[in-house]
Chain A
Amino acid sequence: MTGFVARRLATALLQLVGLALVVFFAIRLLPADPVARLVGQNASREAYLASQHALGLDRPVLTQFGAYLGALPGASGLLQGDFGTSWVTGEPVAKEIGRALPVTLELITISFVLAFILSVPLGMLCALKPGGAADNATFGYSLFAGSQPEFWWGLLFIYFFFAIMGWAPAPLGRLDPLSTAPPAVTGLITIDSLLAGNMAAFSDGLHHLMLPVLTKVFVLSGPIVKMVRQNMVRVLGSDYVLFARASGLPPGRIARMALKNALAPALTLLGVLYGYILGGAVLIETVFSLPGIGSYAVRSVLAFDYPAIQAVVLVIAAVSLFVYLALDIVHALLDPRLAS
């Protein structure tokens, strides 16, 4: 098991190094001029050159890469854990990502867990009677939910739950402007407010999560139910379930055995889904004005903020790889065939 984890960690590290390389050179191949973007079209030639020098863009590309990695003397870079400073805000990129990432992680992790909790029993129900009423209803639902983009569902939910019913707060960020945010420890509002004992912020935070999470769960549940159903149908049709019945095992025990066999392979797919959702987080963040990593990434790209772009790509990749790895470890713990 230790060997398995060590091997996977080493591969993940290699992937990150490769990614850092590709991103660094790929954005420099773009026909874009970040300096012009910063100083404006009408700036004087001196101002342009001064700005270019300040950003270090007048140096050869390889020197720039050395500085980015932190291999040059006197400057810190990736090797020292330094993502550099944003060209737009002048703040350290790490600090900015530290603010944006938890917002997104909080949203999609809660959505994922809720979607999973809802989908597993639903998928089992469908699998018990393929073609039955529950199965058909679920099929119809996932077709319905998956046929529209999630920002569209988000807008519909806002219209209905905020504008008409008034149950949800205005889709303007993570907290009400009037409530005081708890001091940032983890960056996750729910946890930080609990740590600070600030119950008002906690319930306000949850309230503001209500619609984004609803949107996510609504869209995510379709594929997860389908996955659970498919695996469960396969397991229920297997020889070992038939043999368990022939051995006179009680239905409850057979169900538990089947569930373990059906869920283990589903975990890997969840990991893939998580990485995919993380990459597309910008849509839901935009709809609900959440200052998450997706919005940050888009803002950085539009501003040609090279250090921020490089850091965001690496961080999102690292999170995805970490989730993959964690789910693979759980999978290996459930399935002894993988660990050996």
Chain B
Amino acid sequence: MPAEPLLSVRGLSVGFHGAIAVDAVDLDVMPGEILGLTGDSGAGKSTLGLALLGLTRPPGKLLGGHVTLEGEDLLALPEDELRKRRGSRIGLIVQNPRGALSPLHTVGGQIGGVLRAHLPLGRKGAWQRAVELLRGLGLNDPARRAEAYPHEISGGMAQRVLIAMALGAGPRLLVADEPTSGLDVTIQAQFLDELARAARAAQSAVLLMTQDLGIIANYCDRVAVMQQGRVLAPMSVRDFFAAPPDEYSRTLLSLRREAPPAPPAQETPLLVAKDLSKRFTLRGSGKVLQAVDRVELTLHRGETLGLVGESGSGKTTVGRCLLRLVEPSGGSIEFEGQDLVTLKPAELRRLRKRVQIVFQDPFDALDPRWTAAEILGEALEKRDPARIAELLALVDLPATTAAQHPRSLSAGAQQRLSIARAIAAEPMLIVLDEPTSALTPLARVGIVRLLRRLQEKLGTAYLFISHDLNTVEQLSHRVAVMYLGQIVEQGSRVQIFEAPRHPYARALLAAHLAPDPARRRIDRAPEAALAGEIPSPVDLPRGCYLAGRCPQAQEACRTTPQRLIALPDGRALRCAPEAARAMNTEPTLIAGGVLT
């Protein structure tokens, strides 16, 4: 017998100047459950989330409906009564956590302010309670953190401050709207673990709104899909992934069912980077930031090398050094037998045709005053309309696009145009720098398919730089993992995704949320996570860069710099103890990367 729903929404509608953003939504949230709500951008998820609290962004208006929380219709309450329910009975976490905090007030003061609005606490009591909340959320030195201003803390920490504000007064329902967008993979997993734990401890239900089906698969009990303002009936997560009820989710999940691309039959080296380094001298202090540290890379003809790592790991700088958009401080880059590092400017310009780059934000990378035809024409030797039409067809853009400006195209179409421009000169290698990160999940699927097809047809090699492990898995033949400017492990896709060896790679892959409910992170025992935060690339440790955070660090790790060691199974590893272990025991494949 199902229990009474905690929250029951009936016929809720929100309009913006006549356009309906949330259309007669019915939804029940059961006590203690985590209900996922997914759907494409613009489906109305955020608007629905705010409407549950009786709020809209101007000029939006609540057009009608009932939001019944614990038997009380919130929308029928007078404004002051409704205000008292917000934060104490129903809490909200939003994306862009730093934007959600006032920049001129300390985070402790802001948490305390919410507590005092709902609980009989004085200024001092509220402050102490805020510090306790932060401690409970796993922040070290919470007393000092509470005195920090939002610009002084990281995005992950700011997100925890929001949880403290949303859960501080003990609401029974938490609405979390894309709570992890913009966070790194390991921080995201840690944050969601804490969110689930905090909600469970407070016996709160969570309505988790996200486009990321990996999050849904790993944390939610049930899931509902929202499209064009309407919410489809929720179903269990297992049923959802077995048979997605709508076109949108089916398209997103379709890539996973297809076989990943086969590696090229023959391995002919195309680009070999040795000891590639880049140092930046910081202005003012004169300190040196080691962005790229003795990177060794080999790219074969027609293959895709995925370069993964968290923000600040130096993966973007590596990509730019390969084109000499950023001058390397040291090392060599051999491309088709020539050393790029010593090339003269005129020769370099000729060679740039052979190596192209696609950037993260297509809108910034395209001249807003040019039409698509002009953009493509510039990349060609001569402006040949037939060739332009051919390029547009190659990236599945209609021929009419030629006359359009970038701003009238969707982000996905802009990125296709960027790719068309990159392939115009028939390069051997394209550096793809987070090409899917600024796109909606749906557009991302389209770009991944396009990249696969172009590679099959043209035989171009890709260096695919991304922090999105799902996309990397769908595209790459081999994968290199970066940490603090160094490659810590390199191997085939299967080796890295199914049995990573380096402790950092293991932690990264363990935090990877695959859209597959078979091995849910929330049901797994927590794994040996890395302690603390990434050290500053200005003051690097003397020995292994991970030693301070690694659960298996030995005394020697702290003092001896680690070399990249080639293993017999083809992978390279920057961890002497783990390499020794691998040489002694036959490597075994363990799904999900559990510690051996």
Neighbour of A253 across the interface among B99, B113, B149, B152, CB < 8 A? B113
A248-B88, A248-B118, A249-B117 given; A261·B102 CB < 8 A: yes
Interface stretch, picked from A5-13, A95-103, A331-339, is A331-339
Q: Are B117 and A247 in contact (CB under 8 A)?
A: yes
B276 located at the interface, meaning its Cβ lies under 8 Å from any Cβ of chain A in the complex? no
Report which residue of A237, A238, A239 has the largest number of chain B beta carbons within 10 angstroms of its beta carbon. Answer: A239
Chain A residues with CB below 8 A from B105, complex form: 257, 260
| CB-defined contacts of B100 to chain A, threshold 8 Å | 239-240, 242-243
Which residues of B have CB within 8 Å of A28?
A: none
Cβ 8 A contact of B94, one of A239, A257, A340: A239
- CB neighbours (8 Å) of B50 from chain A are 242, 246
A250 at the interface (CB under 8 A from B): yes
- B117–A253 touching, CB < 8 Å: yes
| Residue in A242, A337, A340 whose Cβ sees the most chain B Cβ within 10 Å | A242
Determine if B99 and A238 form an interchain contact, defined as CB atoms under 8 angstroms apart: yes
Q: Most chain-A CB neighbours within 10 Å: which of B103, B151, B166?
A: B103
The residue on B at minimum CB distance from A236 is B58
B572 on the interface (CB 8 Å rule)?
no
What chain B residues lie within 8 Å of A248 (beta carbons)? 83-88, 114, 117-118, 169
A104 to B425, CA, bound (A): 69
Judged by a CB distance under 8 angstroms, whether B257 is at the interface is: no
* Contact A337 to B151, CB < 8 A, known contacts A243-B92, A246-B92, A257-B105: yes
- The A232-270 residues at the B interface (CB cut-off 8 A) are 237-240, 242-251, 253, 257, 260-261, 264
- Bin the interface of chain A by size: 20 to 34
A243's closest neighbor in chain B, by CB? B100
A126 to B103, CA, bound (A): 23
Closest to A258 in B: B102
The number of chain B residues with a CB under 8 A from chain A is 33
Instruction: Indicate if B55 sits at the interface (CB-CB under 8 A).
Output: yes
Q: How far is the CA of A264 from the CA of B83 in the complex (A)?
A: 28
Q: B86 near A240 (CB under 8 angstroms)? A: no
List B contacts of A246 (CB < 8 A).
50, 53, 55, 86-87, 91-92, 94
Contacts of A261 in B (CB 8 A): 102-104
Query: Does B41 reach chain A (CB closer than 8 Å)?
Result: no
Q: Contacts of A245 on B, CB cut-off 8 Å?
A: 55, 83, 86
Which residue from chain B places its CB closest to the CB of A240 in the assembled complex?
B102
Per the bound structure, the CA–CA distance linking A244 and B101 in Å amounts to 8
A-contact bits for B33-65, CB 8 A (1 contact / 0 none): 000000000000000001001010110000000
Judge whether B96 is part of the interface by a CB distance below 8 angstroms.
yes
Q: In the complex, which of the residues A246, A335, A340 has the most CB atoms of chain B within 10 Å of its own CB atom?
A: A246
B166 to A, closest residue via Cβ: A247
- Across the interface, which residues of A come within 8 angstroms of B96, CB to CB? 239
Residues in A with CB closer than 8 Å to B169 are 248
Q: Within the complex, what minimum Cβ distance (angstroms) separates A211 from chain B?
A: 39
Residues of A with C-beta under 8 A to B104 = 257, 260-261, 264, 334-336
In the assembled complex, the Cα of A237 lies from the Cα of B59 at a distance in Å of 11
| Contacting pair B99 A250 (CB below 8 A) | no
What chain B residues lie within 8 Å of A247 (beta carbons)?
Answer: 86-87, 91-92, 114, 117, 165-166
* Contact residues in B for A244 (Cβ distance below 8 Å): 102
Per the bound structure, the CA–CA distance linking A340 and B85 in Å amounts to 38
Which chain B residues border A253 with CB–CB below 8 Å? 113, 117
Other than the given A242-B50, A243-B92, A245-B55, 16 more pairs (CB < 8 A) read A238-B99, A240-B101, A242-B94, A245-B83, A247-B91, A247-B114, A247-B117, A249-B113, A251-B83, A253-B113, A257-B104, A257-B105, A260-B105, A261-B102, A337-B151, A340-B152
The 7 A-B pairs of least Cβ separation, nearest first, read: A248-B87, A248-B86, A243-B100, A239-B99, A246-B92, A247-B87, A247-B114
Residues of chain B whose beta carbon lies under 8 Å from any beta carbon of chain A: 50, 53, 55, 57-58, 83-88, 91-92, 94, 96, 99-105, 113-114, 117-118, 149, 151-152, 162, 165-166, 169
Q: Can you show 30 pairs from A to B with CB atoms below 8 A apart?
A: A239-B94, A239-B96, A240-B99, A240-B102, A240-B103, A242-B50, A242-B55, A242-B57, A243-B92, A243-B101, A245-B55, A245-B83, A246-B53, A246-B55, A247-B86, A247-B87, A248-B85, A248-B86, A248-B87, A249-B114, A249-B117, A253-B113, A257-B104, A260-B105, A264-B104, A334-B104, A335-B103, A336-B151, A337-B103, A337-B151
